[in-house]
Structure 1
Amino acid sequence: MKKIAMVTGATSGIGKATAKKLAQSGYNLIITGRRNDRLQELKDNLKNHATEVETLCFDIRETIAIENAIKQLPAEWTNIDVLVNNAGLAAGADPIYNGLWSDWEQMIDTNIKGLLYLSKLIIPKMMERKQGHIINVSSIAGKETYANGNVYCATKHAVEAITKGMRIDLLPYNIKVSSVSPGMVETEFSIVRYHGDKAKADNVYKCLTPLFADDIADAIEFMVTRPPHVNINDILIMPTAQASAVYNHREE
Structure 2
Amino acid sequence: MKFNLKQRLKAGVKGFLNPSPQSAKVLNVPPEPRVIISDRLLENKNVLITGTGRNIGRSIALEMAKQGANIFGIERSANKTEQLESELKSYPIHFQSFTFDISRHEEMVQFCRELESSEIDIDVLVNNVGLKIENIGLQKFNLDDWHATFNTNVLEPMFLTQAIANRMRDRQRKGSIIFITSIHQWEISRWVSYSASKAALRAIVKELALDLAPHDIRVNGIAPGWIAENEDGTPLPHPYTVLDRHSIPPRYIGRAAVYLAADYFSQFTTGTILKIDAGLSLYNHRVREHPPH
Answering whether residue 111 of structure 2 is matched by residue 80 of structure 1, we say: no
Cα offsets for 1:153-198 (capped at 9, x unmatched): 110010011111111111110101000111122269xxxxxxxxxx
What is residue 199 of structure 1 aligned with on the other side? none
Which piece of structure 1 moves more, 168-177 or 41-50? 41-50
CA distance in 1, matches of 2:250, 2:132: 16
Q: Choose from 134, 147, 159 the match for 2:201.
A: 159
Q: Which amino acid aligns with 1:224?
A: A
Q: Which amino acid aligns with 1:15?
A: G
Change (3 A) 1:246 1:106: farther
Q: Choose from 204, 210, 218 the match for 2:247.
A: 210
Q: Which amino acid aligns with 1:68?
A: Q
TM-score, normalised with respect to structure 1 = 0.84
Deviation, 1:246, is: 5.4
Aligned alpha-carbon RMSD (Å) = 2.5
Q: Which has the larger radius of gyration?
A: 2
> Unmatched 5+ residue regions in structure 2?
1-42, 231-235
Q: Choose from 214, 226, 229 the match for 2:267.
A: 229
Answering whether residue 64 of structure 2 is matched by residue 26 of structure 1, we say: no
Change (3 A) 1:245 1:169: farther
CA distance in 2, matches of 1:213, 1:29: 17
Identity, % of aligned pairs?
A: 24
Change (3 A) 1:12 1:246: farther
The number of residue pairs the alignment matches comes to 234
Matched residue SS, 2:90: helix
Whether contact under 8 Å (1:5, 1:27) holds in the other structure is yes
Deviation, 1:205, is: 3.6
What is residue 169 of structure 2 aligned with on the other side? 127
Deviation, 1:3, is: 1.0
What is residue 141 of structure 2 aligned with on the other side? 99
> Unmatched 5+ residue regions in structure 1?
189-201
Counting only pairs closer than 5 Å after superposition, residues 1-252 of structure 1 correspond to structure 2 as: 2-73=44-115, 75-77=118-120, 79-128=121-170, 129-146=172-189, 148-186=190-228, 205=238, 208-227=245-264, 229-231=267-269, 233-240=272-279, 242-244=280-282
Whether contact under 8 Å (1:186, 1:205) holds in the other structure is no
CA distance in 2, matches of 1:65, 1:245: 41
Cα offsets for 1:90-120 (capped at 9, x unmatched): 1114112223334322211111112112111
Change (3 A) 1:69 1:44: farther
Matched residue SS, 1:159: helix
Matched residue SS, 1:49: coil
Matched residue SS, 2:200: helix
Q: Which amino acid aligns with 1:114?
A: E
Cα offsets for 1:105-137 (capped at 9, x unmatched): 221111111211211111111112241000001
Whether contact under 8 Å (2:183, 2:281) holds in the other structure is no
CA distance in 2, matches of 1:82, 1:187: 26
- Runs ≥4 in structure 1, deviation > 6 angstroms? 247-250
What is residue 193 of structure 1 aligned with on the other side? none
Change (3 A) 1:91 1:180: same
TM-score, normalised with respect to structure 2 = 0.73
Whether contact under 8 Å (1:63, 1:117) holds in the other structure is no
Cα offsets for 1:192-224 (capped at 9, x unmatched): xxxxxxxxxx8x946830112111111111112
CA distance in 1, matches of 2:195, 2:130: 12
Q: Which amino acid aligns with 2:259?
A: F
